[in-house]
Structure 1
Amino acid sequence: MADAAHDLARRLGRQAEAVCRHYLSAGWRQGHYWQVGDVRNTPGRSMFVRLRDSAKGPAGKWTDAATGEHGDLFDLIRESRGLSSFSEVVAEAEMFLGIPRSVHEAQAPLRKTENSSRDPVISVRRLFAAARPIPGTIVEAYLRNRGITALHETGSLRFHPRCYYRPDPREPIQPLPAIIAAVTDLRGRIMGIHRTWLTPDGAGKAVIATPRRALGHLLEHAVRFGRPYDVMAAGEGIETILSVRTALPSLPMVAALSAAHLAAIAFPPGLRRLYIVRDNDPAGDRARDSLIARAGSAGIEAIVLSPALGDFNEDLRAFGVDALRAELRCQLAPEDVSRFMMLSP
Structure 2
Amino acid sequence: MRGVTDVATICRLLNERARELAPDLLPNGVRDGIHWKTSSMEDVPTGRYSFVVDLQGPKVGRWHDFGGARPGEDDGDMLDLVRIRRCGGDMIAAIEWAKSYLGISDRDRGSFERARQEVERRTSQREAEHQAERQRKRDHAKGLWLGGVELPGTPAEAYLHGRSIDLRALGRAPGALRFRAEVPNKESGARLPCMVAAIMGLDGTHMGTHRTWITQRVDGSWGKALLSDPKLTLGPSLGGFIPLWRGDGAGKLATIAPDTDIYVSEGIEDGLSVAMGLPDKRIIAAVSLSKIGALELPEQAGSIVIIGQNDPYGSPAVDTLEAEIGKLQARGFRVRIIYPPRDPQRPNGAPAFKDFNQWLCEDPDGFFGRSAGRAVA
TM-score, normalization by structure 2: 0.54
Distance 2:133 2:320 in 1: 32
Residue matched to 2:362? 318
Summarize the Cα distance change of 1:86–1:332 in structure 2 as closer, same or farther, 3 Å threshold. Answer: closer
Summarize the Cα distance change of 1:247–1:287 in structure 2 as closer, same or farther, 3 Å threshold. Answer: farther
Q: How many residues align?
A: 224
Distance 1:85 1:295 in 2: 33
What is the one-letter code of the residue matched to 1:187?
Answer: D
Distance 2:235 2:162 in 1: 29
Summarize the Cα distance change of 1:268–1:287 in structure 2 as closer, same or farther, 3 Å threshold. Answer: farther
1:181 pairs with 2:181: no
| Preserved CA contact (<8 Å) 1:247 1:321 | no
1:166 pairs with 2:191: no
| Preserved CA contact (<8 Å) 2:264 2:305 | yes
Distance 2:204 2:195 in 1: 19
Query: Cα offset for 1:328?
Result: 1.6
Query: What residue ranges of structure 2 are gaps of 5+ in the alignment?
Result: 1-31, 36-54, 57-125, 247-251, 342-352
Q: Which moved more, 1:225-234 or 1:253-262?
A: 225-234
Residue matched to 1:12? none
What is the one-letter code of the residue matched to 1:148?
Answer: I
Q: Secondary structure at the match of 1:302?
A: strand
| Preserved CA contact (<8 Å) 2:242 2:286 | yes
Match of 2:162 among 105, 124, 145: 145
Residue matched to 1:129? 146
| Preserved CA contact (<8 Å) 1:262 1:287 | no
1:278 pairs with 2:308: yes
Q: Secondary structure at the match of 1:315?
A: helix
Q: Spell out structure 1 runs of 4+ moving beyond 4 A.
A: 84-87, 112-116
Query: Cα offset for 1:332?
Result: 9.0
Summarize the Cα distance change of 1:127–1:143 in structure 2 as closer, same or farther, 3 Å threshold. Answer: same
Query: What residue ranges of structure 1 are gaps of 5+ in the alignment?
Result: 1-83, 88-108, 334-345
Residue matched to 1:42? none
Q: Secondary structure at the match of 2:133?
A: coil
What is the one-letter code of the residue matched to 1:206?
Answer: A
TM-score, normalization by structure 1: 0.58
1:307 pairs with 2:326: no
Summarize the Cα distance change of 1:208–1:291 in structure 2 as closer, same or farther, 3 Å threshold. Answer: closer
Residue matched to 1:7? none
Q: Which moved more, 1:211-220 or 1:300-309?
A: 300-309
1:209 pairs with 2:239: no
What is the one-letter code of the residue matched to 2:298?
Answer: P
Query: Cα offset for 1:283?
Result: 4.1
Q: Secondary structure at the match of 1:136?
A: coil
Q: Secondary structure at the match of 1:331?
A: strand
- Equivalent positions of 1:239-258 (< 5 A) are 239-258=269-288
Summarize the Cα distance change of 1:131–1:321 in structure 2 as closer, same or farther, 3 Å threshold. Answer: farther
Summarize the Cα distance change of 1:188–1:312 in structure 2 as closer, same or farther, 3 Å threshold. Answer: same
Summarize the Cα distance change of 1:139–1:164 in structure 2 as closer, same or farther, 3 Å threshold. Answer: same
Matched-pair identity in % = 28
* Aligned CA-pair RMSD: 3.0
